[in-house]
Amino acid sequence: MIGIFEIAPEGNGTRYTASARHWTTDKLEEHRKMGFEEGWSAVAEQLKALAEG
C-alpha cells in the first residue's frame, strides 16, 4: 500500500487530502476489514482538533 498525504493552504484555511493505493483488491478488502477507513477518519479528526487548538 502507498499512502499519499497532502496539506496545502486554501483561502483562510487548509486543505488536507489523504489517498491510499493498494497493490491488489484483496489487500484493499483486507485493510477495510481491519478498520482502515475508520482509523484514518479518526486521524483526520485528531489533526483537525490539533490545528484548531
Please check whether residue 15 lies inside any domain of the structure. yes
Assess whether pLDDT exceeds 90 at residue 51: no
Please check whether residue 16 lies inside any domain of the structure. yes
Please check whether residue 53 lies inside any domain of the structure. no
pLDDT of residue 33: 95
- Return all residues near 22 (Cβ < 8 A) that are at least 6 apart: 1, 28, 31
Please check whether residue 51 lies inside any domain of the structure. no
Please check whether residue 31 lies inside any domain of the structure. yes
* Ramachandran assignment for 33, one of left (phi > 0), alpha (psi -120 to 50 degrees), beta (any other): alpha
Please check whether residue 48 lies inside any domain of the structure. no
Please check whether residue 23 lies inside any domain of the structure. yes
Please check whether residue 6 lies inside any domain of the structure. yes
Domain count, the chain: 1
pTM, full prediction: 0.65
Q: What is the domain extent for residue 16?
A: 1-37
Assess whether pLDDT exceeds 90 at residue 53: no
